[in-house]
Chain A
Amino acid sequence: ILNVEQSPQSLHVQEGDSTNFTCSFPSSNFYALHWYRWETAKSPEALFVMTLNGDEKKKGRISATLNTKEGYSYLYIKGSQPEDSATYLCAPNTGNQFYFGTGTSLTVIP
């Protein structure tokens, strides 16, 4: 079992602010690091999969980086919009086993 920590637990930002969250995990023995976006009353949707140290992925205003040597990943949202309000989950996986963090709950205030 991998211990995955996400911080902060929750975050309220004003529309237009940029923000970032952290995912920390043991730095050895995992295949990939996944980020998911989970809106209330829906199911988690995949944002990024990263495998290599130094990996950077971007989708619109959202980007993520991965540091496998020190065991962390950052998710950045530039110019937050109300539709970005959701819980953001990270999950390193070892083969078939995904280990989900408890998530960062983001609320963007119009």
Chain B
Amino acid sequence: NAGVTQTPKFQVLKTGQSMTLQCAQDMNHNSMYWYRQDPGMGLRLIYYSASEGTTDKGEVPNGYNVSRLNKREFSLRLESAAPSQTSVYFCASSPGQGVETQYFGPGTRLLVL
């Protein structure tokens, strides 16, 4: 039981390049989330998927797209990376909505030059 896994662990991009961050969970959770974490700021929600087939914007969605490929997988795509997207990205999942606890992956550290 791996919980929430993320790939890659670390990535360096040049401005304008694209990439997809992958996230998978094996806990049969319905809801999945993408956050970014920047120095001096709390975790900020980029996008979430309340259930398979649905996605919604969070607090900071600009410059990102997401795909809920199936119940297990939720990917985050940067179409044209910018230095402002340098951050640590965390994927999380929860059984459902409301009071359910979120379980976090190990994070992807992204550097955009």
Contact = CB atoms under 8 A, between A and B. Distances in A.
A95 B101 contact: no
Contacts, number: 58
Nearest to A6: B42
B106 A31 contact: no
Give the interface size class of chain B. 20 to 34
Given A32-B99, A95-B98, A97-B58, A43 B104 contact: yes
A97 B45 contact: yes
Contacts of A13: none
22 contacts: A1-B59, A4-B42, A31-B98, A32-B98, A34-B102, A43-B90, A43-B104, A43-B105, A44-B43, A46-B102, A49-B99, A49-B101, A93-B98, A93-B99, A96-B56, A97-B45, A97-B58, A98-B45, A100-B42, A102-B41, A102-B42, A103-B42
